[in-house]
A and B are shown apart, each in its own frame.
Chain A
Amino acid sequence: DQQVKQNSPSLSVQEGRISILNCDYTNSMFDYFLWYKKYPAEGPTFLISISSIKDKNEDGRFTVFLNKSAKHLSLHIVPSQPGDSAVYFCAASEYSGGGADGLTFGKGTHLIIQP
């Protein structure tokens, strides 16, 4: 049973437009959410996070929105740039200062920015 779901395996967006990546979760105990970005042949790198006490966190072109009642979060990238082309993983944790299983990841969404 997948606790973190990214239902879009891929997404194609024109350069300069907004990219919206979606993520749903089923475990109501999750209280910390992160987005990781992964280029081919590289490890995932942390992008942005949000605690369950917030509903929005913004960092430059990246904004993460959290809707706890819907168990849904989204990552907005605006404006999208060619360098944003990568696989984006949504992750969640029951943060307790170092939970045993770390993060639970979704399967990822491959974002393709078209020139």
Chain B
Amino acid sequence: GAGVSQSPSNKVTEKGKDVELRCDPISGHTALYWYRQSLGQGLEFLIYFQGNSAPDKSGLPSDRFSAERTGGSVSTLTIQRTQQEDSAVYLCASRGQGGTGELFFGEGSRLTVL
């Protein structure tokens, strides 16, 4: 499709398990972002990839969170040893070069940690 694609759309896991969330950005978009939205909260920045530059990881809440972007395209967000407070909707967004700040979001991956 032409939009940002995320999978899985829903994930229920047990506390302590690892999860991987995938994002396929819009083709040709060089910038990729991960945000999360917890219940009743706004969109919290997690990590940013721009081309081949080192990612900006300043928003990652703990060292249990990591992300990679392979080949400048698909990105995977990994949460190790999940905790209940990790339950949220994880949103991926991409932006083309020379854009005016507009991010294009995927539909999100809803993570529930029991």
Number of residues on chain A facing chain B (CB within 8 A): 28
B42 touches A42 (CB 8 A): no
Segment from A12-20, A65-73, A75-83, A102-110 that makes contact with B = A102-110
Nearest-CB distance from B87 to chain A (Å)? 16
The size class of the interface chain B forms with chain A is: 20 to 34
B31 touches A98 (CB 8 A): yes
Q: How far is the CA of A45 from the CA of B108 in the complex (A)?
A: 12
Nearest-CB distance from B111 to chain A (Å)? 14
Nearest-CB distance from B92 to chain A (Å)? 8
- B residues within 8 Å of A by Cβ? 4, 6, 30-31, 33, 35, 40-45, 48, 50, 56, 58-59, 91, 93, 95, 97-108
Kindly list 17 other residue pairs between chains A and B, CB separation below 8 angstroms, not including A95-B101, A101-B48: A4-B42, A36-B105, A42-B107, A42-B108, A43-B4, A43-B91, A43-B106, A46-B102, A46-B103, A49-B100, A49-B102, A91-B43, A98-B30, A98-B50, A102-B45, A102-B48, A107-B40
- A residues within 8 Å of B by Cβ? 4, 6, 9, 32, 34, 36, 41-46, 49, 89, 91, 93, 95, 97-98, 100-108
